[in-house]
Amino acid sequence: MTPKQRWYCFWVIIVVTVLLSAGFVWIAIHNPQASFEDLLYALWKGIVNFVSG
C-alpha cells in the first residue's frame, strides 16, 4: 500500500463513520420508537439507494 492509498482508505473510513453516525442520529430523532434492526435496515436501504443512484 502506498501512503496515498493509505490516506485514501483513512478518509473513506472517516466519511463512512460520520455518515453512519449521522444516519443513526437522524433516524433516532425522527423515529424514537425504532428498534436497532429498523435502524440498520434503514441505513442499509439508504446505502443501497445511494450506491445504485
Q: Where are the domains of the chain?
A: 23-53
- pLDDT band of 53, cuts 50, 70, 90: confident
pTM above 0.75, yes or no: no
| Residue 9: per-residue pLDDT | 92
| Residue 8: per-residue pLDDT | 93
| Residue 17: per-residue pLDDT | 93
- Residue 43 near residue 23, CB atoms below 8 Å: yes
- Residue 20 near residue 5, CB atoms below 8 Å: no
Side-chain-side CA neighbours of 27 within 13 Å: the count stands at 20
Model confidence over 2-30: pLDDT tens digits?
999 999 999 999 999 999 888 878 877 87
